[in-house]
Amino acid sequence: MMKRTFIPKLDDFLGGGIPEGSSVLFCANPGVECEAFGYQTLQSRLEEGDQGFIFTNVAEPSSIIYEFDKLGWDLETNVENENAFFVDGSSYFIGAPVTGKYGVEDYTQIEEVVFKAIADVPNGVGIINNLSTLIDYLGDEKTIEIIKNWNESAKEKNTILLYIFTQWDYEKDVIKKIKESMDCLIYLSTIEERVIIGQGFMVTGASWTTPSSNMVLFNVIHPGGVKIFIPKILVTGPYNAGKSSFVRSIAPDSVSVDRMALGQVPTTIAMDIGHMEHKGFVADVFGTPGQERFDLILDILAKEAVGAFILVDSTAPKTFARAKEMIKRCKTEAIPKVIVANKQDMTGALSTDQIRDVMKLDQTIPIIPVSIIQNEGIEEAVDGLLEMLYR
Amino acid sequence: MNSIESGISGLDEISSSVGSKDGVIQENSATLVYGPPKVGKSILCNQFTYHGLNLDEPCLYLTTDQSMHELQQNMMDFEWFLQNPIEKELLYVIDTLSPLSGEEINTTTTYKVSKINDPTDLMVKVGIGTRFVFKKSNKFRSVLDSLTTPFAFNPEALVIRFLKAYIRRLKEAGATVLVVYTEGVVDEKTEKILKSLMDNVIMMDGEYLTFRSTTGLVGTAEYNITNKGIFLEKGKTL
Amino acid sequence: MILMIVRVVSGIPGLDELTSSEDELGLGLGGIPENTITLVYGPPGVGKSIFCHQFAYYGLKQDEPCLYLTTDENLQELQEDKTNFGDDLKKYMESELFYVVDAASDIEEELESSDIYHISSVKNPTDILIKVSQGANSIKQKNPRFRAVIDSITSILESNNEMLIVRVLKTYILRIKEAGGTAVINYTERSADLRTEILIKSMVDNIVKLNGNEIVIEAMRGMGIKNKSYEITEKGIIVE
């Protein structure tokens, strides 16, 4: 029987949900909010009438109840009703009183205790938070052995086991063995441009289905839980570089917005807003007006954008200075950007190398030759930006 | 490579006395400040932080040994008042000690908490904090004071893993990082690994401050802790 | 503006003079900085316990409550220390100023707990921490400042995994500071691993060493290293 997690998009990627008795590894880059995935799955299953437990070695049960509360879920009542319980592997080690149905006062007890917990919730779900701490306490060989045993036991009892694992710099061999002992791998990663600008998840393996290989951006909202994040992509550039055409080309349903209320005074601007889907990547596209007087909007939008296309007219080098200024405005927000050198079909169009020279841009910013009118280069431009986002 | 104004009187001058343009602490470097207990390592970091704040260089401060309240008090001992920088959102503090009391803590935009035995959560907070501070200024500092409590509450290996990720994250963002470590808390082998993760090392023993930077600069000077902070006597390079 | 570090009178004659500094407006007020943790350490038999008794008793005489964690001497034995406590301990307990967590009594003995007297065991540090925290909490409701003593941490270290005690101690320190207390902790040098000793020394604010002849202030907030000779008399420790 497939058990749904009710985490947006995840169940689709998993082919409906998680089969009973499966083991799932949430493998996270350091810095990604990963606990919410385990907690949300547990919450969903509890709401569906299943039972569950949380084994914790990183936070006391009362802390976790507080986390659930912040997410908008009442774990406390479920614990009182004995639908959910804790295996407390954290409190003793920080000198706090051990709470929960089972407590651990010695790391050698952990294996046994979790066996009991698994047996207590047949057809239910168990969360192991966090596997990394186990490895560094028990050693990698012992931990891998224990995981295998737990997974076997879970299969027998039809209990789903979800492991939260932070992929610190463990040896490749160790990580490989851990992954091999799981039925399903969900990779949680940071999206970075000098700093973390986003997080995404992706199902990279499942023993029961072929997962679609899409990475989905997400945020953890308090309250709310894991929510898909639709990023904003800016399309900007000097006047007449082809922004509107570009937006319409990548977001066919885009509309032109003529008025926008900024503060108390409505201003008349032409802005193109659309929704883009390209190879599984979803984004809202904002084409900004090119005139200088609207740079304030550019600043505001740049704050929330995860990437930018900067259109330039390859035949109008005089506008390059203006383009550079707009790049600078995006730069402070450290977002990945791609220069779309439009109008390559026209005579007098500078080559991308020439453009790079004139603009004095360093090699880290790609310049893609494009002719929107001839529908050429657009796909390459979008691929270019996406590649930078998901590097 | 540019060097950072450390704010420690006499420290930056040591290298300039040899005519070298390299200061002791280069921008975007990671420096380990270590020595026995109670020699002034925290004071050095606080001085470094405060000096940066005065230059409008924000600081991402991870406090693990002391609560935010104690940090403020310690700063006040030297008349380093944090109210203004906090108001200007230049000081971003992640406090892993206060939650140990079991009470719920009120956080703000620039004051967050994490659990001392949950490096995963701490890393999430570090990521968020780094982004916040980076947006304030590309030139910023970060202090981890200190590794002692993390080593007491976590397996050694895990702390080292966290440290690697922390340094990587902060350096990627352009920060200049100081990490405090009390000598003897871990064994020699781990201490070696610790030092190898850093660009520079500052050793304080109560009398002398000795530094070693990756630029090859090695120097030493006597130091004193006064009520205005740490002052170095005229030092010499080796 | 000259910042004054608020200090509490230690109760050890001569010590406060040693810790006073000219910077502080020339008032010569010495003592242990308020709201800090002081480690009093040294070999066995140099007067560390007596130091603790004196520190506690001085506060009691000023109506400052004291949260006393005792691991070697049980309550009865404390009460028998007339030199320092006089006959007054019972009186201070009645007026709820002297709060005891007694980890030295045999559990077999029929001793009643009360609001201000709790029994625990050195083998159960978590329980000790709970009782001490309760104590700090109830004192804090009534008094903005108080004294706290651990006499001694050595016995607790000897009966448990040292790292666990380091963590418990860290939490203890946090709780005492939050509640406004000033604590003194008695530790016998070299009774634990070197590593544990270093950890403990880095967790406290002030370090005072007694070696039988001299008292050395190895670290104290707001001052450098100082030392003087001392004696243990019938009146307790006196610093020269």
* d(CA B65, nearest CA chain A) in Å: 14
In tens, the pLDDT along A294-334 reads 677 667 766 777 788 999 999 999 999 888 887 777 665 56
Spell out the residues 6+ positions from residue A40 whose beta carbon is closer than 8 angstroms to its own. Answer: A5, A6, A7, A71, A225, A226
pTM: 0.84
B135 vs A: CB within 8 A: yes
Q: How far is CA A107 from CA A86, A133, B22, C103, C163, in A?
A: 16, 11, 49, 27, 14
Q: Please indicate whether, in this complex, the C-beta atoms of B130 and A195 are within 8 angstroms of each other.
A: yes
Substitution target in C37, C41, C130, C174 with the highest count of B β-carbons within 10 Å is: C174
Residue B20 pLDDT grade (very low, low, confident, very high; cuts 50, 70, 90): low
CATH 3.90.550.10 fits A230-389, yes or no: no
Over residues A209-220, the mean pLDDT reads 84
Where do the CATH 3.40.50.300 domains begin and end in chain A? 2-223, 230-389
The pLDDT assigned to B103 comes to: 81
Helix (H, G, I), strand (E, B) or coil at C68: strand
Chain A contact set for C203 (CB, 8 A): none
Instruction: Tell me which DSSP letter residue A376 carries.
Output: B
A333 vs B: CB within 8 A: yes
The kind and range of the H/E element at C232 are: strand C226-233
The candidate with the shortest Cα–Cα distance to A225, out of A45, A44, A19, is A44
DSSP B20-49: ----SSBTT-EEEEEESTTSSHHHHHHHHH
Q: Please indicate whether, in this complex, the C-beta atoms of C194 and B77 are within 8 angstroms of each other.
A: no
Tokens of residue B60, six digits? 């991402």
Instruction: Tell me which DSSP letter residue B205 carries.
Output: -
Number of Cβ within 10 Å of residue C44's Cβ equals 11
Residue C115 pLDDT grade (very low, low, confident, very high; cuts 50, 70, 90): confident
The pLDDT assigned to C110 comes to: 55
The pLDDT assigned to A342 comes to: 94
The kind and range of the H/E element at C199 are: helix C194-203
The pLDDT assigned to C1 comes to: 36
Res A40 pLDDT > 50: yes
More confident residue, A164 or A191: A164
Say which CATH architecture domain A2-223 belongs to.
3-Layer(aba) Sandwich (3.40)
Classify the phi-psi angles of A253: left when phi > 0, otherwise alpha if psi is within -120 to 50, otherwise beta. Answer: alpha
Chain A contact set for B100 (CB, 8 A): 94
Q: Please indicate whether, in this complex, the C-beta atoms of A195 and B153 are within 8 angstroms of each other.
A: no
> Chain centroid to CA B70: how far?
16
Q: Pairing mode, if any, of strands B111-113 and B91-95?
A: parallel
The pLDDT assigned to A280 comes to: 63
